[in-house]
Amino acid sequence: ALELPSAPVEVSVCADGLEVRSGGSCRAAPLPPGVSLAPDSCRGLRRVRGEGLQLRVRLRRPPPAADVVFTLRENLKPNKNYIFYCQSCGDIVLKDRKFLRVLPLPSESWSDLVDEWCCHPDPFARSTLHPRHGDCFVGDTFFLLNSGNESHKSKEITRVICERCKTMLGETVSSDTIKYYVTEVIIQPAEESFSPTPRSQFVQSTVAQCLLELSSSKSTFRFTIKGENGKTYILIWLLNSDTLLVESLGSSFSHSDFALFGDILMPSSGPVRAWNAVKVLYQPCIQHRNKELAEEWENDMSVHPLKFPSETCLELLLILGLSTTSLPPSLQCMNSFQVRNSFC
């Protein structure tokens, strides 16, 4: 959206940018190198009182190289030393950890699917998938590691806390198994130095990657964001995974008319920046909001649950809310869902 005077305006759309003329003034929205517009896709041109001029147009950019997009399951390799860092403060959690096996886990709802497909009692009901020494099991939102702590036989689930900043990193699953959440730790090869990432950017990037992987592998597009306490905090509906967000610094053009969420590629430098992003709609579920809708989604097998620490769920909700308020009022909602605008 662009705030304009009441005088008549002329909008010019070409492959390399957008110009708006009104009276003797001209405002342009340039594009970064490699990005172009599809002029014939321009539609929805309108002036909204108090918000300015709005329109929709498709952006074009060559797809990123296949090895640029990081996947949680492919990031860890066997027989290689890794260091686990606390994402919040950079403190070392695990040092020089080498895995003999890195194996994917089934989704957390796999037992429900077994009940649907089996005509006899669940044969896996008493089975547990716990890593042995040298194993790393990768779930949708966590890593399971063998702690090697044979002396601690407590069956209670306890929180795993960073010793320096006291952030919750995960929880114990059994006497010898620890779960680390992907939003709380950074895993790097031992030969690389730790490179901090802003917390908000890291949370967005990691959650977006979870959404992309699951939507691709399971054709799932609706998600419930749950805390480790089992409470549902957010409902997320993934609309599009190939969105490109362009921002002209100093311009009041709106980024998008949908929610943009995630951080797959770092933004380009210069006065005009571009990000790959995903579009999402969301509904908050705190303080008994959207209780009936949340219950409906939880009973729907096509909705996939994602579990994170409760504090991270609240962080994510704050990120979503701040982005929504940055949009013009007319673009903040769609079909009763709130709209998310963020870089990717």
- What pLDDT score was predicted for residue 338? 62
| Nearest residue to 52 via CA among 338, 342, 331 | 331
- What pLDDT score was predicted for residue 115? 61
Return phi, psi of residue 90, to 5°: 85, 5
Cα–Cα distance between 292 and 302 in angstroms, integer? 17
Cα–Cα distance between 215 and 179 in angstroms, integer? 23
Most trustworthy range by pLDDT among 79-93, 143-157, 192-206: 79-93
Two tokens, residue 80: 């290689």
Q: Within 10 Å of residue 303's Cβ, how many Cβ atoms?
A: 19
Note the pTM of the prediction, 2 decimals.
0.80
| Nearest residue to 318 via CA among 204, 180, 208, 206 | 204
Whether the per-residue pLDDT at 226 is higher than 90: the answer is: yes
Mean pLDDT over each residue of the chain, to the nearest integer: 79
- What pLDDT score was predicted for residue 259? 39
| 84, 74 contact by CB (below 8 A) | no
Cα–Cα distance between 13 and 29 in angstroms, integer? 10
Cα–Cα distance between 21 and 27 in angstroms, integer? 6
User: Residue 235 half-sphere exposure, CB side, CA atoms within 13 Å?
Assistant: 20
Mean pLDDT of 97-112: 80
| 144, 179 contact by CB (below 8 A) | yes
Q: In this predicted model, which residue has the larger pLDDT, 344 or 236?
A: 236
Strand order in the sheet with 17-22: 9-14, 17-22, 25-30
Cα–Cα distance between 23 and 44 in angstroms, integer? 23
Question: Which letter does DSSP use for residue 135 in this model?
Answer: E
| Nearest residue to 180 via CA among 224, 146, 217, 225 | 146
Which whole-number Å values give the CA distances from 86 to 193, 279, 315, in the listed order? 14, 29, 16
Please, which pLDDT band fits residue 66 given cuts at 50, 70 and 90? very low
Cα–Cα distance between 60 and 243 in angstroms, integer? 10
pLDDT in tens, 274-297: 777 788 889 999 988 999 999 999
Which whole-number Å values give the CA distances from 171 to 91, 114, 128, 141, 181, in the listed order? 18, 26, 16, 13, 9
Please, which pLDDT band fits residue 230 given cuts at 50, 70 and 90? very high
pLDDT in tens, 9-49: 788 888 888 888 877 788 887 888 888 888 888 888 887 87
Please, which pLDDT band fits residue 246 given cuts at 50, 70 and 90? confident
Whether the per-residue pLDDT at 1 is higher than 60: the answer is: no
CA torsion 227-179-154-148 (nearest 10°) is -170
DSSP bridge partners of 238 = 280
pLDDT in tens, 23-32: 778 888 788 8
| Nearest residue to 133 via CA among 99, 103, 105, 106 | 99
Most trustworthy range by pLDDT among 58-62, 153-157, 164-168, 262-266: 164-168
Cα–Cα distance between 296 and 293 in angstroms, integer? 5
- The DSSP result for 189-246, as a single string, is ETTSPP----HHHHHHHHHHHHHHHHHHHH---EEEEEETTS-EEEEEEEEEEEEEEE
Cα–Cα distance between 59 and 209 in angstroms, integer? 22
Classify strands 303-308 and 135-138 as parallel, antiparallel or unpaired.
Answer: unpaired
Range in 125-134, 242-251, 334-343 with the lowest mean pLDDT: 334-343
